[in-house]
Structure 1
């Protein structure tokens, strides 16, 4: 229990520092959320500033915003005056979560078997081909992979839509592929390296010497220790999916959290950017806790960390 309380306190302090740093950087950046309203009469500008508390000193703005956050209110959006940040995130977060979890599931469902196949055929042409493809997948960034997927499957083959979001599976295929490709490649390489290390262990040689082999040796004895590094990698993989959603959602025109973050930063929508930072930061904290718990169940030796 003391450990849980300490981790909870650490997570809250981390979120507070993250939000504070983001608040300071946003206010320090040149420009403001209503620079396009320069032609408006002075009284209109003053009314806008008063409505959004921009007429107060920065420290007073920070205190008022932090008080609202503690009450669960992320404030009004500057660029979407008919919506609050809570409403925007409530509509966009399920889209980002759906795409991210689908991308990670695809990376695991394909990456682990491909890594196992490469390890079992280490040094052969199939292993070299798989690792070359994995290296290529890691080398191509998402902002390059996404347009290439659009050119191939939407423009050339006309199989899938080039962008937009209607909640259907066809509109999700290309964004999920763009998000999944680098994680799939890394998962395959990590699984291969881990399984090769396990295969060299003395206890594996002893098991083979006693006649144990084939599928039973692989699925009952080898996969669990070989997948421990993959489980540890899940935390940065999920973070990579979250950060990559900003690029992918922008390219495909998907109204997710990542796109709101990019648009909010460009438009100096302070409350929207800060809301996204808090939600994503909280998600990362929860992800780290869950992954640590999963590692502890798979390897009891980690329970005392």
Structure 2
């Protein structure tokens, strides 16, 4: 119970510091949410500032915003006046969750078997080719991979749509692949390295000497400890998917929270950016907690080391 209370307090303080820092940086950035090439009449600017409390001192704005957040109200959007930030996030979050979840599942479903297979054939030509491909996948950023996928599968082959979102599987294929590629490559490399270390352990040599088959060694003795580094990597992998969704959703024109974040930052939509930051920050805190629990369940030494 004490450990749970300490971690909850740490999570709340982390989110508060993140939101406060983001609030200050947004207000310090040049420009404002209602700046335009043609300036509005002074009375219109004054009315807008009063409506969104931008005419108040910074500390007062912060106090009002924080009070609204504690009540579950993320405020109105400056650039989408017909919607609140809660409504925009409620509409975009499921789309981002679907794409991000499918991307991570794809990375694990392909990366884990490839990593194990490569470790069992370490040093052979197939292993070298696979690791070269994995290194290439890590080197190509998402903002390069996404247009290349569009060029190949949408423009040249015309198999899939180039962008947009209709809720069908065809519109999800390219974004999911673009999000999954770097995680898939890293998962394969990490699994290979972890399995090589485990397969060379003394207890596995002793098991081989007792006549156990390689298949039993792999599934009964090597796979579980070999996957511990992969489980630990799930936390940064999920965070990578969350952060990468901003680029991918912008390229493919998907109305997820990543695209809302980019548009909100460009348009100085303070409340929308702060709302997305809070939601993503809370998701990262929950992801870290879930991964820590999974690691402790797989490795009793981690449970015993916790206070």
The reply to whether TM is greater than 0.5 is yes
Cα distance in structure 1, aligned partners of 2:144 and 2:39: 39
Aligned to 2:99: 99
Aligned to 2:188: 188
TM-score, scaled relative to structure 1: 0.99
Cα distance in structure 2, aligned partners of 1:134 and 1:208: 31
Aligned to 1:136: 136
- Secondary structure of 1:35's aligned partner: coil
Cα distance in structure 2, aligned partners of 1:271 and 1:176: 28
Cα distance in structure 2, aligned partners of 1:298 and 1:190: 18
| Unmatched segments (≥5 aa) in structure 2 | none
Aligned to 1:112: 112
Range with bigger deviation, 120-129 or 214-223? 214-223
Range with bigger deviation, 50-59 or 212-221? 212-221
Aligned to 1:152: 152
Aligned to 2:40: 40
Aligned to 1:90: 90
Contact 1:198 1:222 in 2 (8 A): yes
Aligned to 1:241: 241
1:293 Cα deviation after fit:
0.2
1:38 Cα deviation after fit:
5.0
Contact 1:65 1:75 in 2 (8 A): yes
Post-superposition Cα deviations, 1:36-94, rounded to whole Å, max 9, x if no partner, equal 18532222111100110000011100000000000000000000000000000000000
Cα distance in structure 1, aligned partners of 2:130 and 2:271: 45
Cα distance in structure 2, aligned partners of 1:246 and 1:34: 23
Aligned to 1:205: 205
Aligned to 1:300: 300
Cα distance in structure 2, aligned partners of 1:257 and 1:42: 33
Aligned to 1:173: 173
Post-superposition Cα deviations, 1:5-32, rounded to whole Å, max 9, x if no partner, equal 0000000000000000000000000000
Query: Would you say how many aligned residue pairs link Structure 1 and Structure 2?
Result: 305
Contact 1:161 1:171 in 2 (8 A): yes
Aligned to 1:256: 256
Aligned to 1:26: 26
Aligned to 1:125: 125
| Unmatched segments (≥5 aa) in structure 1 | none
Runs of 4+ in 1 over 6 A off after TM superposition: none
- Secondary structure of 1:186's aligned partner: helix
Cα distance in structure 2, aligned partners of 1:132 and 1:217: 28
Cα distance in structure 1, aligned partners of 2:173 and 2:38: 43
Range with bigger deviation, 208-217 or 222-231? 208-217
1:163 Cα deviation after fit:
0.2
- Secondary structure of 2:36's aligned partner: helix
Cα distance in structure 2, aligned partners of 1:267 and 1:40: 16
Contact 1:164 1:253 in 2 (8 A): yes
- Secondary structure of 1:36's aligned partner: coil
Cα distance in structure 1, aligned partners of 2:113 and 2:183: 14
Contact 1:53 1:61 in 2 (8 A): yes
Contact 1:37 1:45 in 2 (8 A): no
- Secondary structure of 2:98's aligned partner: helix
Matched, 1:268 2:268: yes
Aligned to 1:230: 230
Post-superposition Cα deviations, 1:195-241, rounded to whole Å, max 9, x if no partner, equal 00001100000000001122221111110000000000000000000
